[in-house]
Amino acid sequence: MVKENIAKLVEKAIKTLQKEKVFPEFVIPEVLVEHPDKQNNGDYSVNIALKLAKTVKKNPQEIAEAICAKIKPSKAVEKIEAVSGFINFYLSMEFFQQEISVILRQKDKYGSQQSKKTVVIDYSAPNIAKPFGIGHLRSTIIGQALYNIYQFLGWKCIGDNHLGDWGTQFGKLIYQIKKKIKPKDWKKLSINELEKLYVEFHKEAETYPEMEEEARSYFKKLEKGDKEAKTIWQACVDTSLKEFDRIYKMLGIKIDYALGESFYGGEPMQKIVAELAKKKISAKSQGAIVIKYANDELPPAMILKSDKATTYFLRDLATIKYRLKTWRPDIFVYEIGADQYLHLKQLFSAVKSLGWVKKQKLVHVAHGMIRWEHGKFSTRKGQTIHLEEVLQEAISRAMKIIESAKANIVLSEKEKKEISEIVGIGAIKYNDLSQHHSRDIIFSWEKILSMDGNSGPYLQYTVVRCQSVAKKAKAKKLEVNLTGLNEAEKNILKTIYKFPEIIQLAADNFSPNLICNFAHDLAQKYNLFYNQCPILSSENKETRLALNAAVGQVLKSCLKLLGISIPKKM
């Protein structure tokens, strides 16, 4: 990547200056290569001279000039300039030309890499016996995008759906089902009925608090392997999984494993309890066992309740142990809501005290909430909104747009249905991915489905446009001709080559939104070009078709990484 080469050139120049005793000996700090804000400051800029000013005891401009003087222009970098302490690099037109050939040759491999590393991504993780809520949508979509991005960079990726299928809430559910439902109907309970039973339990328990105790004993029975408790639990799991599968199918999501919390029961967990006690990380507290943190840096985390029931926390510890042993990942990614910030902080800290991880990174990719402009994302009556309804609504709104559009193309009913699904679902996904994961999303149908804003449909439309131009032209070998390039064409050249570095940046920062920003920028530049420059009738036809094909390819790769499909027509 040209960006990495520039960093190396700068480092080498500094080393030379050290050898020549122009600079004293010091460890060279990381050379950051960035795109300057203003276009007339080159394509890349390095601020190392400003950073070195104190160490070298010269003014930054002098340092920048000294470094500049040691770097020779190359085929890719045609000009290097020191300006107010910055070192600016100008890429050559030959470089841009070359990059288009690389894109057209490598196609969907362009920007991909090889790696020997492994990442485990914990995402989606809905809870059994509750409808798939909007709350798990972000985790599912962002988690899947991260999976795709790392895979593209050559990592071995393990996706694990840590289903919420264990815990004291199942004691409550089992109690309530046993009380209210005949055994022959257990399997017939729908997910909405299961949710209702759970809500009812809480209402009734306000009047009869002894129910709580009963529920606890049912969860204990479940943990001990009681047959009846297990049968009811299994019925809840089966119904829920069927439901979730439908949602995953709509979203086009497939997760490698769905081990779930229940997978970690029994002996492995007891071993961890013993290890924690032996290493003096845990202590008894009012009958329960908790992890105490040094200097009370974090509040204690409960691992066993006073009745010895296991906790979410302990199951997460067991999960890490299993993942370490099974996959030896370099990074553990948890795509979970920001509301579990403390839980993960406690968890990561405990894992470090246990000495389980050394070089491995544990990362919480915390997402914000989705809400309406005026408040919580719920129905007018205050009930939570089920994801399936939102997806259906997106599809039917996309259908309306398709039907009302001034049609240049004739679509059959079947095509309309297919397109509306791809556009509706794509719009929901893009809306989620295009904002930084940590921020809350303000949900607005207008923005999500806008055909000319920063939206999924806009990008899908642009790719389809590129493809239809290419189809009409039927050209074979394409190349960019450097003579007579206009501004619109140059703008595409000066944007598209950033794709590989953006993917790397998105992976390093766990931020798929960087890919969205890039794709949107590129699409805008393409559409400007498309509106200003005739393609097929032009003298520069070959160049323009090459740009058209390269943009189509790169945007397609962006959408693929984001998990967004592209309709055949639009």
Q: Where on the chain is the footprint of ligand ARG (CB under 6 A)? A: 122, 125, 127, 162, 164, 316, 319, 334, 336
Q: In whole angstroms, how close is the CB of 384 to ligand ARG at the nearest point?
A: 13
Cα distance between residue 33 and residue 8, in whole Å: 10
Q: In whole angstroms, how close is the CB of 316 to ligand ARG at the nearest point?
A: 5
Q: In whole angstroms, how close is the CB of 34 to ligand ARG at the nearest point?
A: 35
Q: In whole angstroms, how close is the CB of 126 to ligand ARG at the nearest point?
A: 6
- For residue 272, how far is the Cα from the chain centroid? 31
Between 335 and 421, name the residue whose CB sits nearer to ligand ARG.
335
Strands (DSSP E) found in 413-552: 441-442
Between 99 and 243, name the residue whose CB sits nearer to ligand ARG.
243
Q: In whole angstroms, how close is the CB of 127 to ligand ARG at the nearest point?
A: 5
Between 315 and 544, name the residue whose CB sits nearer to ligand ARG.
315
Start-to-end CA distance of the chain, whole Å, equals: 35
Between 317 and 469, name the residue whose CB sits nearer to ligand ARG.
317
Q: In whole angstroms, how close is the CB of 465 to ligand ARG at the nearest point?
A: 40
Nearest-5° Cα angle at 109, 106 to 112:
130
Cα distance between residue 514 and residue 508, in whole Å: 11
48-52 CB contacts, 8 Å cutoff, 24+ apart: 48/10, 48/14, 48/87, 49/82, 49/85, 49/86, 49/87, 50/85, 50/86, 52/14, 52/23
Among 291, 282, 125, 307, which Cα is nearest to 224's?
A: 307
Cα distance between residue 106 and residue 112, in whole Å: 10
Cα distance between residue 433 and residue 454, in whole Å: 11
Between 96 and 348, name the residue whose CB sits nearer to ligand ARG.
348
Nearest-5° Cα angle at 470, 467 to 473:
150
Cα distance between residue 367 and residue 139, in whole Å: 7
Between 122 and 421, name the residue whose CB sits nearer to ligand ARG.
122
Q: In whole angstroms, how close is the CB of 387 to ligand ARG at the nearest point?
A: 13
The full 3-state SS of 161-189, as one line of letters, equals CCCECCCHHHHHHHHHHHHHCCHHHHHHC
Side-chain-side CA neighbours of 450 within 13 Å: the count stands at 10
Between 336 and 535, name the residue whose CB sits nearer to ligand ARG.
336
Between 44 and 123, name the residue whose CB sits nearer to ligand ARG.
123
Find out whether 561 and 151 touch, Cβ atoms under 8 Å: no
Between 46 and 157, name the residue whose CB sits nearer to ligand ARG.
157
Cα distance between residue 337 and residue 560, in whole Å: 24
CB within 8 A of 469, min separation 6: which ones?
530, 535, 536, 545, 548
Q: In whole angstroms, how close is the CB of 349 to ligand ARG at the nearest point?
A: 15
Q: In whole angstroms, how close is the CB of 278 to ligand ARG at the nearest point?
A: 24
Residue nearest to ligand ARG (CB): 164
Between 333 and 545, name the residue whose CB sits nearer to ligand ARG.
333
Q: In whole angstroms, how close is the CB of 258 to ligand ARG at the nearest point?
A: 12
Cα distance between residue 91 and residue 39, in whole Å: 12
Q: In whole angstroms, how close is the CB of 361 to ligand ARG at the nearest point?
A: 16
Tokens of 516: 């969205």
In the sheet with 118-122, reading across from the earlier edge strand, the strands are: 156-160, 118-122, 331-337, 361-367
Between 139 and 420, name the residue whose CB sits nearer to ligand ARG.
139
